[in-house]
Amino acid sequence: MNTLRLQLRFLIPLLLALVMAAYLALPLMDRLTLRWFARDLNLRGSLVTQTLADSVSEGLQDTTDARLQSLFDRVVQDERLVGLGLCSLSGEMLRHSPRFPSSLTCEQAAQISAQSDAEIRIEGGPVHVGEHVVMGEGGPLANLVVLQDFSFVERRSEDTRQYLIILIAGLGAVMALITVVVAQLSWRGWVQGTRALLRGEGLISPMVSSAPELQPLAAELRQRLRDLEDEYRRSLGPEAVWDPDRLRSLLRTQLRGDQLIVVSNREPYIHEKEGDKIIVKRPASGLVTAVEPVMRACSGTWIAHGSGHADALVVDEHDRVMVPPGKNEYTLKRLWLTPEEERGFYYGFANEGLWPLCHVAHVRPVFRESDWQHYREVNQRFADAVLAEARSDDPVVLAQDCHLASLPAMIRAHLPRATILTFWHIPWPNPESFGICPWREEILAGLLGSTILGFHTRFHCKNFIETVDRYLQARIEHEHSTISFRDDTSFVESYPISIAWPSDAEVAAWPAVALCREQVRQRLHLPAEHKLAVGVDRFDYTKGILERLHAVERLLEKYPEWVGQFSFVQVAAPSRGSLEEYRSFQDRIHAVTARINQRFEHPACQAVYLLAEHHEHDALNELYRAADVCVVTSLHDGMNLVCKEFVAARDDDQGVLILSRFAGAAREMGQALVVNPYHVEETADALQRALTMPAAEQHERMASLRSTVREFNVYRWAGRMLTDAGRWRMRERIEARVQRSRPE
């Protein structure tokens, strides 16, 4: 409808101009035609007069007039010649043919003949009047008045008028068609160009749109977008440290208090029964460690699988419970899974399939059709829960991790305006490795329902983009890191995750480092000066626990003076114990620990303490503060938060971090002793170096690590993602406005 209106704007003036042209051209054409024919008839009249001159001269000498009469009768047999009249030089009618009008005198004929059209109307129709001199040998003899039929001129004029009207109408139609097509094409080019600009293409590189006439406007739009972005950045305040207040203010201003919904498989609080009492546990999970402080700062709703035995006892009729217990800062909405669903979705597809697939830690992924079915069904149930919780058609949804790869597209199908931020907490492998997943296209298509897709490192982003490039028909714009697939565009970006930096009040409440050292050593029956290294992990084969034990064994072998002087404490939270791969791995760790302890048996201590149980946060903090060294030797890790927790716990600026180069954290924590965990000798040497590192060097390294983690904390992680989401929403709003004003 709008397109028609736009086209009419071109067409109506065009048609008016054509009608005007026809209106002016037709009388002009008539006059011209009349003049041309009158001139022709004049020439013809002269010719007739010249031809008859001799016969008229002889006829004038005949006193009976019979010769002239018979000459005139013969000549006017020509159907175009209506009549002839012979006038004397003094203007007297001497003779005329029978149809010559008797009312026409010689004087009148001379006057009419002098006019440009020289036309009169007689009984048979219009005639042309021409007066021509009849020349004799001695000069002019008389004037011959020739009357010729003029009606054919009118007929021809009529024909010409018709042809002219048809020509103008045809010309109008062709011009209208060209106008419509050109207007339509130009409009498309315009819209494409404007859209490209709104996507930010024109901001960095010159416009690649098909509408060169947009160039002058592009500069203006670019300027306007830059102004808006500057305004946006200014409103965020100076580049200060990110903290809960700043995050809250970001939500209030940039996201205008929009609803925030987090979705993950793992819940942040688990209610369990202990005798008659219900207790609350925090799961050992990097995801929970990172996302929980963000939720506390922003309120909102967290949808997760209710996995605790007493979870159902504490929720309301909508399966909701306010958490943290006693503080009630946000809503936890629990979703219930049957044991079969949990087996297929969580243990099967996510943990036996995607987890080893993405970590490439030499454990074969297992893909079962039934697991995939469960995975899809459970993702759909999470998506339905999001739809049920959404209070508007454009909530901000934070989907977490590899358990929910299909979720973004499922939400997008019903809430096309939602801003979906998906964060992939584990690594993303290269295209070849990912290619072995039988449902690789479906997984990628599901993730590309996200508005923003986050990974810990640029390297994982690059791997993801290359994987999409390999397996999907999608448009990738590398310079802007966007992927357009079907009708959606996703922005792929790295957001290194972190921890909540402890507040001054929290730190003030911690027991002193000396006290922590003493208590931990007492608990393990160790002397006060005993050196301790710690490892804290979920009991998972990707964490490099076995390689770490081998390194400890090599240290004691290579530097035997440490036997009886040094111990390694491994805290391992039971994880995924119902999977055979995990059970056999855990058995192996127990066996290797026993072997090492036997080999380096000493009356004062064990070489390795394996504490295979869940620890509360305070207990872990005490251990971090008591340790001389923290060892993180993941074979492959998205980020790893343990190393950051260790650093945050050391307000005494002491302690040494040994960190695997295959953990995402190694990219920002260069002051650690970075090792290749597969290289046992290198890790053993790093242990030796850490145990003998002078306090001054420890201080220097730890202070630098602490300032990095303090600045790059989890509020910054969430803040950067939400800032990008805010910017994206602003662009979408502008684009929607352009769309609304765009003709259909």
Binding site for ligand ADQ (CB under 6 A): 284-287, 289-290, 425-426, 497, 536-538, 571, 573, 614-615, 620, 637-642, 645
CA 171 to chain centroid: 44
Taking the complex as a whole, how short is the minimal distance between the CB of residue 365 and ligand ADQ, in angstroms? Answer: 16
8 A C-beta contact, residue 367 and residue 437: yes
Q: By Cβ distance, which residue is nearest to ligand ADQ?
A: 286
| Residue 568: strand, helix, or coil | strand
**Residue 188 vs 590, nearer CB to ligand ADQ:** 590
**Residue 128 vs 720, nearer CB to ligand ADQ:** 720
Q: 608 forms bridges with which residues in the sheet?
A: 568
In one letter, which amino acid is 204? I
**Residue 284 vs 635, nearer CB to ligand ADQ:** 284
**Residue 290 vs 304, nearer CB to ligand ADQ:** 290
Q: Where are the alpha helices (DSSP H) in 390-539?
A: 407-414, 431-434, 440-447, 458-471, 504-509, 513-523
8 A C-beta contact, residue 487 and residue 448: no
Taking the complex as a whole, how short is the minimal distance between the CB of residue 718 and ligand ADQ, in angstroms? Answer: 12
Taking the complex as a whole, how short is the minimal distance between the CB of residue 491 and ligand ADQ, in angstroms? Answer: 19
Burial of 81 (0-12, 13-18, 19+ CB in 10 A): buried
**Residue 48 vs 284, nearer CB to ligand ADQ:** 284
**Residue 37 vs 355, nearer CB to ligand ADQ:** 355
**Residue 82 vs 642, nearer CB to ligand ADQ:** 642
**Residue 467 vs 633, nearer CB to ligand ADQ:** 633
Taking the complex as a whole, how short is the minimal distance between the CB of residue 690 and ligand ADQ, in angstroms? Answer: 20
Taking the complex as a whole, how short is the minimal distance between the CB of residue 640 and ligand ADQ, in angstroms? Answer: 5
Q: Closest by alpha carbon to 249, among 726, 741, 733, 734?
A: 726
Taking the complex as a whole, how short is the minimal distance between the CB of residue 648 and ligand ADQ, in angstroms? Answer: 11
Taking the complex as a whole, how short is the minimal distance between the CB of residue 195 and ligand ADQ, in angstroms? Answer: 34
Look at the alpha carbons of 490, 493, 499, 502 in this order and tell me if their dihedral is positive or negative: negative
**Residue 285 vs 482, nearer CB to ligand ADQ:** 285
8 A C-beta contact, residue 555 and residue 687: yes
**Residue 200 vs 286, nearer CB to ligand ADQ:** 286
8 A C-beta contact, residue 406 and residue 442: yes
In one letter, which amino acid is 657? L
Q: Which two tokens stand for residue 523?
A: 């608990």
In one letter, which amino acid is 510? W
Cα separation, 685 vs 683, whole angstroms: 5
Q: Which two tokens stand for residue 663?
A: 């953990």
**Residue 551 vs 643, nearer CB to ligand ADQ:** 643
In one letter, which amino acid is 616? E
Taking the complex as a whole, how short is the minimal distance between the CB of residue 284 and ligand ADQ, in angstroms? Answer: 3
DSSP state string for 44-68:
HHHHHHHHHHHHHHHHHH-TT-HHH
DSSP state string for 96-140:
E-TTS-TT--HHHHHHHHHSSS-EEEETTEEEEEEEEEEEETTEE
Taking the complex as a whole, how short is the minimal distance between the CB of residue 725 and ligand ADQ, in angstroms? Answer: 18
**Residue 273 vs 281, nearer CB to ligand ADQ:** 281
Taking the complex as a whole, how short is the minimal distance between the CB of residue 701 and ligand ADQ, in angstroms? Answer: 21
Adjacency order of strands within the sheet including 488-494: 320-323, 330-335, 301-305, 260-263, 396-400, 419-423, 452-455, 488-494, 482-485, 475-477
Taking the complex as a whole, how short is the minimal distance between the CB of residue 703 and ligand ADQ, in angstroms? Answer: 22
Cα separation, 270 vs 304, whole angstroms: 11
Q: Where are the alpha helices (DSSP H) in 404-509?
A: 407-414, 431-434, 440-447, 458-471, 504-509
- The residues, any chain, with a CB within 8 Å of residue 673's CB and separated by 6 or more, are 656, 657, 658, 659, 686, 689, 690
Taking the complex as a whole, how short is the minimal distance between the CB of residue 359 and ligand ADQ, in angstroms? Answer: 8
**Residue 311 vs 637, nearer CB to ligand ADQ:** 637
Taking the complex as a whole, how short is the minimal distance between the CB of residue 613 and ligand ADQ, in angstroms? Answer: 7
Taking the complex as a whole, how short is the minimal distance between the CB of residue 630 and ligand ADQ, in angstroms? Answer: 11
Q: Which two tokens stand for residue 186?
A: 């130009």
Taking the complex as a whole, how short is the minimal distance between the CB of residue 614 and ligand ADQ, in angstroms? Answer: 4
**Residue 214 vs 497, nearer CB to ligand ADQ:** 497
Cα separation, 733 vs 727, whole angstroms: 10
Cα separation, 692 vs 599, whole angstroms: 23
**Residue 599 vs 617, nearer CB to ligand ADQ:** 617
What is the maximal distance between C-alpha atoms in the chain? Answer: 174
